[in-house]
A and B are shown apart, each in its own frame.
Chain A
Amino acid sequence: GENVEQHPSTLSVQEGDSAVIKCTYSDSASNYFPWYKQELGKGPQLIIDIRSNVGEKKDQRIAVTLNKTAKHFSLHITETQPEDSAVYFCAATPSGAGSYQLTFGKGTKLSVIP
């Protein structure tokens, strides 16, 4: 099955700086890669996603890049704000159609220091 590894596990940045979180996946047939933000006591919130037919996608301060050859994808947050502090998860779909069950990384706890 699919295996997703995520780094770093914790990340502290000063307000206004950029944050980068990286993930690698094992199944070369995976073709959908979402990122979720999870605040304490809440469910994961989809913040951006990318499909394998594109290499980069941007939404305001958030961008995701995908390198299918190397099987890795990254989340970039620019001009970080204290409200960006949360746990971020990357995920990937395993090979084959059907349920699109997501395989998640273990998460990155981002702290933005005012």
Chain B
Amino acid sequence: DTGVSQDPRHKITKRGQNVTFRCDPISEHNRLYWYRQTLGQGPEFLTYFQNEAQLEKSRLLSDRFSAERPKGSFSTLEIQRTEQGDSAMYLCASSPPDGTTTDTQYFGPGTRLTVL
């Protein structure tokens, strides 16, 4: 059983550059979430997809952030004009279709972003 995968695992970029991260959820999981985790804190919700539809966005998701899930499978998270405050671990999670465990989220290994 393949878990959630994320690519790249680490990204170092200079302030002002654009970056894009990819998440591949567990097969057949139709719900996909993005979270951000800063050092010493718990993950914070960014956005949620059900199939290809982006249904919820946190106020943390400024207009420099955009997420897509074009075919309801993998998802991308893009950050434009990166700032040093964007440095964090970006986590992706997925959960199964409607049923008794649809609320159970499985996380990927994360992408560690460092903005210089």
Contacts and interface: CB of A to CB of B under 8 A. Distances in A.
A32 B103 contact: yes
Contacts of A36: 107
A101 B42 contact: no
B25 interface: no
B33 interface: yes
Interface string A84-104: 000001010100001111111
A107 to B, nearest CB: 6
B107 A45 contact: yes
Interface residues of A, number: 25
A102 B105 contact: yes
A23 B42 CA distance: 13
B104 interface: yes
B56 A106 contact: no
24 contacts: A4-B42, A32-B103, A36-B107, A42-B110, A43-B107, A43-B108, A44-B43, A46-B105, A91-B42, A93-B103, A99-B31, A99-B33, A99-B50, A100-B95, A100-B103, A101-B33, A101-B48, A102-B35, A103-B45, A104-B42, A105-B42, A106-B41, A106-B42, A107-B41
Interface of A: 4, 6, 32, 34, 36, 41-46, 49, 89, 91, 93, 98-107
